[in-house]
Every structure is written in structure tokens, then in C-alpha cells.
């Protein structure tokens, strides 16, 4: 008589598989990166996060460990980078992730240093990078129109975005997998285009947001300079100052994805500089107004190798007057001044994320905002 029962080894195997799946789901839930109106929440804890942009193709791999350690030494929690589509897919379906474009190696080095990663997939990135990061072959796709409600473009964008997300998952690089990636970005500075182009752009922005969320990265997604970013996407600020900025919904945190440390260098114009006192003041004021995530663009600018420089007369140097200069050396007093600012902010982190400030009157037309005392021990 045939038995419908599984043999004992199969029962054990199924039980083990189920237990593993349950454990994985439990680990994902407990380690999820979420957010509320105050901050990103990592492993159940609200965090004020200090971040710096280091673009992996703008330096050589031999520099990466030192750059990352100097970022950590400067008091950063996060390394932010774009993903450069034209470097990774120079021909349709032909991928390259070696040398300066070894994204996985770069992210794993950040993890080894004990820092987080903000991965700005785009895949349009601007970044003063050739063709905004788009591969040249993309313009020859029949019927294509960039960054609008256009099916050929959306198909290619979704393919590449999915490729990157799947690669990160397979390498275990999202935070819920034990990796360092706590935040992702779809599109880039799309708001001004949306205002100009109207309904097709609105439809595209909504599609891009939904496409990103459906990839199930387990971490929040942002759209920078995109006031209409739909839930649960967080809209964020870029600029020299962002203390004026508020997100488009009260349940979202206030985030500054590009605090410009200066500006890019152009041929035939003076090299830009920004005094660290001004930069530090802008960051401190943003935190005082309720900001909880600040990223320095750039923390290390690096070099536009080959013909990667994009935009009008952008120079080979992408130094950006950053705290770590083009060659990987500390730029003082900028690096050290910001390090001390970061130390002060971190001492006050529990008070800053715990609640809202109390506003007290000091008399006619005078008010003060105050919180619980910071610990300066």
C-alpha cells in the first residue's frame, strides 16, 4: 500500500527549510530600516546620521580603504555614492564591475570600516558626469525619450535598477541581510523637470517610485529635489543651505542629501572654495531646525578620469574643496573643524531625536528653543 507520508529525511529537510525561512523573515523584520517624522530608525533606534559622498569611479581602488577610514575618522556614519550606469553597462546587456567600477568591493570595504551606505541608484545621476550617467547607446533605442512617461526608457531604467538591486541582494549588502546599505535613491533632482514638463513627468515620477518600492530592498527610498515624491518615498533637500526645508508629509524625516562643500571646477574660471565656518554653520542650523540626516557633497571629490567629465567645461579635477582633497589628503582646517562639529552633534543626539524642543518666552518679541541637556562628559 502506497503511503502519502513523506520519508523522514524529506520531512526533516522541509522543517529545516521552513525554520530557516521563518528565521530569515524574523531577522528582516527586527533589523528593518524604517523612519518616522524625526529620523531614520535603524535597528529600532532613531539616528542622526552624518554622511559623505565618495564616488568609487572617481578614485582608484587602492585609495578606497584609506578614503573610507578618513571619512570614519572625521565622524561620519555613512558613505554615499551614485551608481554610474554608463560605466557598468557600456553596451546593452554587457556589464562591467571591475577596477574603478567594482561597486561590490567598494561597499564591502565600507562595511568592513563599520559604516553605512546610501546607494543612489538613479540611474540618472547628473553629478557632472558624462551624459548624466546614461550610456550612449541608450539614445539610439527606437522611440526613446528620456526621463518621462516613455515605455522604452522605463523598460531600460527598470532593467538596470533591478540589476543593481539584485546584485546587492545576492551579495547580502542590504542592512536586513547584515550589510551596510540603509538607504536607496531613485531618480535625481527631478522636481525642476517635472514643473516644466507637466503631466507626463508626474506620471513618470509616480511610476519610478512604485517601481523602486516593488523591488523590496528592505530600506527606505528617497527622491532628492522632488517635492511631489509619493509615499513612502522621502523627498530630500540639496543645496548650500537647507534649514528652510521641510518634507512634503509630516510623517517623513528632514534630510539633506547634498550639503555642498563648495562647487565643481570649470576650465577657465576660479577654483571654488567654501569656508568651513560657513559650511559648519549651515549644518548646525539644519540640525537645530529638526534635520536628522546630512550628507556632504563631496566629502572626497576625486578625479574625472578619461572622458567621464560632463556638463559645460567641467574640469578633470573634481576636488570640490572637499574635506579630503582630490589626492586623498586631509584638507585642513575643513576636515578637522567638521570632525569637532560632528562630535558635538553626536553628544546631543539622544536629546535631538527624542522629542520636540520647548519654546519659552523671554519677553517681548523674544523666544528661545531648548531641549534636555546634552551630555558633554
Determine phi and psi for 78, rounding to 5 degrees: -135, 145
What pLDDT score was predicted for residue 193? 87
pLDDT of 14 strictly over 80: no
Cis omega before residue 31 (within 30°)? no
Instruction: Encode pLDDT of 246-289 as tens digits.
Output: 999 999 999 999 999 999 999 999 999 999 999 999 999 999 99
What pLDDT score was predicted for residue 311? 85
What pLDDT score was predicted for residue 198? 85
What pLDDT score was predicted for residue 364? 75
Determine phi and psi for 82, rounding to 5 degrees: -75, 165
pLDDT of 40 strictly over 50: yes
Catalytic residue among 175, 258, 326, 349: 258
What pLDDT score was predicted for residue 1? 40
Confidence of residue 368 (pLDDT cuts 50, 70, 90): low
Instruction: Encode pLDDT of 46-65 as tens digits.
Output: 999 999 999 999 999 999 99
Crossing angle for the helix pair 199-214 and 151-170, to the nearest 10 degrees: 20
What pLDDT score was predicted for residue 28? 42
How are strands ordered across the β-sheet holding 45-47?
Answer: 33-35, 40-42, 45-47
pLDDT of 7 strictly over 70: no
Match 562647487 to its residue by C-alpha cell. 263
Angle of CA points 271, 273, 275, to nearest 5°:
165
User: What is the overall mean pLDDT for the chain?
Assistant: 91
Grid cell listed for 78: 555613512
Confidence of residue 366 (pLDDT cuts 50, 70, 90): confident
What pLDDT score was predicted for residue 142? 99
The DSSP line for 165-210 is HHHHHHTT-BGGGT-SEEEEEES-S-HHHHHHH-HHHHHHHHHHHH
Instruction: Encode pLDDT of 116-174 as tens digits.
Output: 999 999 999 999 999 999 999 999 999 999 999 999 999 999 999 999 999 999 999 99
What pLDDT score was predicted for residue 356? 79
Catalytic residue check, 226:
no
Gap between the Cα atoms of 79 and 94, Å rounded: 28
pLDDT of 66 strictly over 60: yes
Catalytic residue among 189, 199, 226, 349: 189
Compute the average pLDDT of residues 313-333.
98
Give the residue with greater pLDDT, 69 vs 15.
69
Grid cell listed for 207: 511610476
What pLDDT score was predicted for residue 375? 54
pLDDT of 353 strictly over 70: yes
What pLDDT score was predicted for residue 237? 99
What pLDDT score was predicted for residue 298? 99
pLDDT of 18 strictly over 60: no
CB 28 within 8 A of CB 274: no
Name the least confident of 82-86, 147-151, 359-363. 359-363
Catalytic residue check, 171:
no
Match 509615499 to its residue by C-alpha cell. 231
Amino acid at each position: 500500500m502506497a503511503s502519502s507520508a513523506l520519508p523522514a529525511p524529506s520531512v526533516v529537510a522541509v522543517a529545516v527549510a521552513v525554520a530557516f525561512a521563518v528565521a530569515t523573515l524574523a531577522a528582516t523584520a527586527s533589523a528593518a530600516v524604517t523612519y518616522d517624522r524625526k529620523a531614520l530608525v535603524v535597528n529600532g533606534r532613531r539616528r542622526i546620521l552624518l554622511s559623505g559622498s565618495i564616488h568609487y569611479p572617481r578614485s582608484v581602488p587602492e585609495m578606497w580603504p584609506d578614503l573610507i577610514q578618513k571619512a570614519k575618522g572625521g565622524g561620519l556614519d555613512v558613505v554615499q555614492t551614485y551608481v554610474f550606469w554608463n560605466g557598468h553597462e557600456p553596451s546593452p546587456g554587457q556589464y562591467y564591475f571591475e577596477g574603478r567600477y567594482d561597486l561590490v568591493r567598494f561597499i564591502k570595504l565600507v562595511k568592513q570600516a563599520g559604516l553605512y551606505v546610501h546607494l543612489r541608484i538613479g540611474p540618472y545621476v547628473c553629478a557632472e558626469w558624462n551624459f548624466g550617467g546614461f550610456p550612449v547607446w541608450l539614445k539610439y533605442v527606437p522611440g526613446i525619450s528620456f526621463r518621462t512617461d516613455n515605455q522604452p526608457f522605463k523598460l531600460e531604467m527598470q532593467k538596470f535598477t533591478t540589476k543593481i538591486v539584485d546584485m546587492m541582494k545576492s551579495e547580502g549588502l542590504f542592512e536586513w541581510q547584515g550589510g551596510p546599505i540603509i538607504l536607496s535613491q531613485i531618480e535625481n533632482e527631478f522636481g525642476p523637470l517635472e514643473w516644466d514638463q507637466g503631466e507626463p513627468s508626474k506620471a513618470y515620477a509616480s511610476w519610478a517610485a512604485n517601481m523602486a518600492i516593488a523591488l523590496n530592498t528592505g530600506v527606505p527610498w528617497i527622491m532628492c529635489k522632488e517635492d511631489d515624491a509619493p509615499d513612502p518615498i522621502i523627498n530630500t533637500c540639496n543645496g548650500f543651505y537647507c534649514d528652510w526645508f521641510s518634507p512634503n508629509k509630516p510623517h517623513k524625516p528632514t534630510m539633506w542629501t547634498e550639503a555642498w562643500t563648495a562647487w565643481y571646477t570649470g576650465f577657465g574660471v576660479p577654483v571654488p572654495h567654501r569656508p568651513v565656518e560657513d559650511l559648519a554653520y549651515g549644518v548646525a542650523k539644519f540640525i537645530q531646525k529638526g534635520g536628522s540626516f546630512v550628507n556632504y557633497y563631496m566629502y572626497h571629490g576625486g578625479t574625472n578620469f578619461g572622458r567621464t567629465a560632463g556638463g559645460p567645461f567641467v574640469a578633470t579635477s573634481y576636488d570640490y574643496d572637499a574635506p579630503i582633497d582630490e589626492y586623498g589628503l586631509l584638507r585642513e582646517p575643513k576636515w578637522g573643524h567638521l570632525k569637532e562639529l560632528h562630535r558635538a552633534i553626536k553628544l546631543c543626539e539622544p536629546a535631538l531625536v527624542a522629542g520636540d524642543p520647548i519654546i519659552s518666552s523671554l519677553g517681548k518679541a523674544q523666544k528661545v528653543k531648548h531641549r534636555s541637556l546634552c551630555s558633554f562628559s
